[in-house]
Amino acid sequence: MITNDIKNTIGNLSSWRKSLTYNNKINPEYYIDTYKINIEKESEDNWPTSIGTNGDYIAYTSALKKNNFIIYKDNAKSKFEKSNVNDIDNDTDSENENEKVMNNLNDNNSTDSTENINQYKVVHKNSYNYPIYDVSWEKNFIVLGSENGKVNMIKISSDSLENSEGTIIPEEEFMCEMQSSNTKVMPSLPNQFIFSQRIHSVDLNPTPINENVLPTHFIATERNLIHMWNIERQFYVNQEPTELDTIFNAKFCPHQSNSSLIAAAGSNGKLHIYDSTKFGKNSVIWKCSSSKKNIEITDISWNPFVPYWIAVSRSDAVVNVWDLRYNKGHVGQINGHYHSIKSIAWSNTHSEILATGSLDRSFNTWNFKKGTYFTLENKKNINSLYEEYNYNISTSENLLNLQEYKQLKMLNAKLITTYTEDYGGGIINVISSKSKPDVFYTLTNDGEIFSHTLKDNLFEKTINYKYDSLRSMERKVELNNYTRNIGKAYKNIISLSKLQKEENILADLIDICTPYPEIKAENWHFPPLQNLNDNMDNHCNQEYIKQFKEDLEKYSTKLPPGYASSDEKWFGGITDKLKDDLNIVKLRINTLSSIKSNKWEFILENEEKLLDIMEKDPLFMEVDEIKQMISCIIIHNHLAALKIGLKINKIFDSQEDRNYSDLTSINHILLFPTVYDIDMNMITYIPELESTMSSNSVDTTTLFDPSTHIYSKNKLLDDFIKDENSINKIPAHAYHSLTGLLQDSSLIIPLLELEIKVDEIVYDKSLSKEEIDSHIIDVVSKEYVITEIPVNENISNTTASRILTSAHQKCSISVITNRLYLDALLRNSKFEEYFYTSMDLFMQYFQLDFSRTITSTIDRVALVSVKKYIDQIYQKIASDITDIINDIQQIQSFDANSFNQLFEKLTSNILIVADLISLLNKIGVVCANGIEIIPLLDDKSGLFFNFTQKFLIELIEQLSSNLYSFIATFKIVSEKINFGKSTDELKNQIIEKIVISDNEIRKKPLYDYFKIQAANKNDNLDENSNQEQEKFSLTIDTIDCIISDLNNFDNLDVDLNNL
């Protein structure tokens, strides 16, 4: 039961603070390393005033006139450099860890701190004949505030500062005298306070850390005045009278974008924010006041990460934190010391941690994120109250007036460390190191300087984990980040990446280790300036406090805004290799994220990096991820996808530890549609019809522009990639054949190179359609060589033909490349090459759907084109021959030269007819290859061969009839004019043209036909086969008849009416 005595204790604010401090002392959490720096003293008198820091240097000042300015060099290693730092990455149980921590603490306590004094070296000492009350150090300049409105400015050379072994020798010194309106200062009477001209505070303007920019001015406070001095001009700029009483503290905002702001506090408990660019004209832009009288603000501290957070310490042992975006009361508070708090300093690594130094001889650090709410009146959180006295709320509810605790709540920071052991006096100054993470320096009124380093174990006790698993590597990353051991965090993230951890988790962990962007001046604004009484410390706007709590949570879960933006040494253990390795992880994450969000441009922008990393690191991306990447790109940029795919193929082919067969499905996408795919994947889509037809499949035999084929390919690819079962639709025999080809690098790499060349031609907008066809023929014909059988090879040898047929597959599995090439041949009337290639493809893939597209194209397009071409040629021949005959008849007298020229023209035209017959014969012979496999084909294919032969024979017979007429005409005219031209030579030339020579036969696929023919003559075929073959009339048989007719031409009854 809570007794009245306990209630009285709670009600007594001062007693409660003592009790709280006492409890903290008997149950300390000493997670702090402390070293003492002994100051050389020549007398028992002490009047230390301040300390300042710059880099590894610490400046000490005193109001005595003997050794009143000393500079120490802190040679201690940072927490990241120490070799004996506890390994926070081990997987020991929490109990063992606590035991380990306590053992370390006992060891540290038993060791005299003076053993570490040698790490602090005196590098400069001076005795000025005037007291020094404050010091500020920024880069090469030091300013010392003294009496009578004077400031001593010291300039130190960069060489002297960089000299790690020697002493510091000032380069120049200037005495700057502040101009005051009242230069006469009278001594104060007993019990009466009057102004003095003592310089209570000095501060140099902040500069960028790693830039060669020096301070340009400083401020000094004297009485209620803020003085401004221009360093470059060595000129007194201005003085700003204030509403404050004696100004004990004035400090520039350390953030570069807000560096013109000055916070000043007076002995009357008021805090003002000034804009130094408006000195002399309404420079106050924000102000607040204490609700209590006779409360002095003893120190000011701007948060180094959040420019709108400012903390002030007070003489009543309270610290208030204000959010400058608001003007309705402070948002956070510290209660815990039982004597005046003389100085405060924010952590240089954590935006939520604040250090306090008090005259009660204790150095404490506080965490606002871990803070609890308490009522403003009782300064106590109800739950903490019950917990402290081990009473349950339900059983004690009738003993307390809970209404007292249901008033405005305030966020009170949680005490996380305290140090009181070796202090011989009260703490009057606390500053954060500018070079060492988690280090604070303190100065006591007994002339002692201490260095305090927050240990990693402290942060392990205060962190709020996001990931649940106690032993997970994700938790290690969180802890590494919170202790600012970013190097270890990077190593763990890289390890997780190699374990193929989900990219969203990796991205989250990287984000945790990435600082928030620096908060610029334009990102926040001061509220309208209001009456001072509206912004007092007892006005606690709950909305603002809630926002402060949310910001604390936000900025403490990852690196705070602008952390280490100018100096990477604050990232513990970071090396160039680690940064490179992490960039690789980031690239992988961003790549996978881009794939999922279809941001294919990102992949192309980083193509070179991706391929370089893939070549060096086999684990960088899994094959499925590479497939997703190719699928993402190829729909939008087919050419780029092919180039990337080719490079990946070469990487896999060149490295023994990679399995080239893993690229099977990727290569299928790159070459899609292949001749092994089903007919639905070979449909041609017409872009013009898309707006009017929902289903615009068009017969594939239509001769389309190259752009139409490319459009169709992209559309088919899109459907193929989206259909997860598309690969299962390929017949088993086709799938096995296709798989075998796609796993053969010697086949695929040359084919991809060909695909790239074709794509480059088609996508070249500077080329006309005719030029595209011409370029495609030039490029593809080098691969689609009409193979010639070696001269020493027997024509009847079937093995050679099979070998050459197999080799020909290297350049013939891409449907679109086949179509582009074949269509280009047709448009350019290269019929011989067209039919050779078409039938070669047909004979290889007669069991696949692709073969039907070949026969259908020949049937409906190619043969029609051939007939149209022959008709055009024949019309011209007939016209030329008629003109020749007319010319001969008009000759009046015999002229041998004239007759020879006319007969040569006549002969030339007749031989052109023979060339046409020869072309039709070769086409017929090539198409006759399919006769051998007719039993394996469907009825439509069988009809195709029958129709083709009949169509060609009919054309040959028409041409041969006209040929006979032309020969007869040649003979009659020659005899009529007694020119003596014989037809024998002409007939021999004709026979030579229409007969396929041995050299021609050696060109595939003519070779295949004559091989089959030879085999049929030598083998005993069954009766059904003979009957099957006898159904067909062949063009070669018609040619034999023509030859026979030509040999017996004189006995022919030629109908000259045909002429």
pLDDT tens digits, residue range 260-306?
999 999 888 889 999 998 887 888 999 888 777 778 999 999 999 99
Closest Cα partner for 702 from 819, 867, 861? Answer: 861
What's the confidence (pLDDT) of residue 290?
Answer: 79
Instruction: Give the mean pLDDT of 413-432.
Output: 91
Verify that 514 and 372 share a domain, yes or no.
Answer: no
Verify that 1011 and 883 share a domain, yes or no.
Answer: yes
Cβ proximity of 477 and 492 under 8 Å: yes
User: pLDDT tier at 169 (50, 70, 90 boundaries)?
Assistant: confident
What's the confidence (pLDDT) of residue 33?
Answer: 87
Instruction: Give the mean pLDDT of 487-501.
Output: 89
In a domain? residue 216: yes
Verify that 450 and 465 share a domain, yes or no.
Answer: no
What's the confidence (pLDDT) of residue 683?
Answer: 79
The full DSSP string for 39-86 is: PP-SSS---EEEEEEETTEEEEEESSSSS-EEEEEE-PPPTTT-TT--
User: Chain-wide mean pLDDT for the chain?
Assistant: 80
Q: Is the pLDDT of residue 391 over 70?
A: no
In a domain? residue 450: yes
Q: Is the pLDDT of residue 608 over 70?
A: yes
Higher model confidence: residue 556 or residue 539? Answer: 556
What's the confidence (pLDDT) of residue 856?
Answer: 84
Higher model confidence: residue 162 or residue 662? Answer: 662
Is there a cis peptide before residue 561, judged by omega within 30 degrees of 0?
Answer: no
In a domain? residue 709: yes
Higher model confidence: residue 805 or residue 407? Answer: 407
Verify that 637 and 489 share a domain, yes or no.
Answer: no
Verify that 493 and 350 share a domain, yes or no.
Answer: no
In a domain? residue 800: no
What's the confidence (pLDDT) of residue 375?
Answer: 56
Buried b / exposed e over 839-856, threshold 16 CB at 10 Å, is bbbbbbbbebbbbbbbbb
User: Among 116-125, 330-339, 358-367, 947-956, whose mean pLDDT is lowest?
Assistant: 116-125
Q: Domain range holding 123?
A: 4-454
Verify that 637 and 723 share a domain, yes or no.
Answer: yes
In a domain? residue 585: no
Q: Of all residues in the chain, what percent are helix, strand and coil, respectively (each to 5)?
A: 50, 20, 35
Q: Is the pLDDT of residue 949 over 50?
A: yes
Is there a cis peptide before residue 673, judged by omega within 30 degrees of 0?
Answer: yes
Q: Is the pLDDT of residue 616 over 50?
A: yes
In a domain? residue 474: yes
Cβ proximity of 626 and 592 under 8 Å: no
* Percent over 90 (pLDDT), the chain: 38
User: pLDDT tier at 1001 (50, 70, 90 boundaries)?
Assistant: low
Question: Rounded to an integer, what distance in angstroms lies between the CA atom of residue 470 and that of residue 476?
Answer: 9
Q: Give residue-wise pLDDT tens across range 634-646.
A: 999 999 999 999 9
Global pTM reads: 0.75
Closest Cα partner for 564 from 611, 518, 631? Answer: 518
Q: Give residue-wise pLDDT tens across range 849-871.
A: 888 888 888 888 899 999 999 99
In a domain? residue 795: no
User: Among 133-142, 574-583, 787-796, 952-961, whose mean pLDDT is lowest?
Assistant: 787-796
Domain final position from 404, 422, 454: 454
Domain final position from 425, 454, 483: 454
Question: Rounded to an integer, what distance in angstroms lies between the CA atom of residue 994 and that of residue 1000?
Answer: 11
Verify that 450 and 468 share a domain, yes or no.
Answer: no
Verify that 242 and 379 share a domain, yes or no.
Answer: yes
Instruction: Give the mean pLDDT of 934-948.
Output: 70
Q: Is the pLDDT of residue 88 over 60?
A: no
Identity of the amino acid at 164: S
CA distances 301 to 309, 321, 636, 695, Å, are 9, 9, 55, 72
Q: Give residue-wise pLDDT tens across range 819-844.
A: 999 999 999 999 988 998 888 888 88
In a domain? residue 815: no
User: pLDDT tier at 1012 (50, 70, 90 boundaries)?
Assistant: low
Verify that 900 and 759 share a domain, yes or no.
Answer: no
Question: How many of the other CB atoms lie within 10 Å of CB of 612?
Answer: 15
Instruction: Give the mean pLDDT of 500-504.
Output: 85
| Domain CATH for 326 | 2.130.10.10
Verify that 1004 and 1019 share a domain, yes or no.
Answer: yes
What's the confidence (pLDDT) of residue 389?
Answer: 37
Q: Is the pLDDT of residue 451 over 90?
A: yes
Instruction: Give the mean pLDDT of 1029-1056.
Output: 72
Q: Give residue-wise pLDDT tens across range 361-387.
A: 999 999 999 887 765 544 444 444 444
What's the confidence (pLDDT) of residue 996?
Answer: 79
What's the confidence (pLDDT) of residue 102?
Answer: 40
Verify that 436 and 492 share a domain, yes or no.
Answer: no
Domain count, the chain: 4
Q: Is the pLDDT of residue 177 over 80?
A: yes
Q: Give residue-wise pLDDT tens across range 183-218.
A: 444 555 555 555 568 899 999 999 988 778 899 999
Domain final position from 763, 783, 803: 783
Give me the long-range contacts of 381-389 (CB less than 8 A, separation at least 24). Answer: 381/412, 385/10, 389/2, 389/6
Q: Give residue-wise pLDDT tens across range 661-720.
A: 999 999 999 999 999 998 887 877 766 554 443 344 444 445 788 888 888 888 888 888
Verify that 126 and 250 share a domain, yes or no.
Answer: yes
Question: Rounded to an integer, what distance in angstroms lies between the CA atom of residue 933 and that of residue 1032?
Answer: 13
Q: Is the pLDDT of residue 532 over 60?
A: no
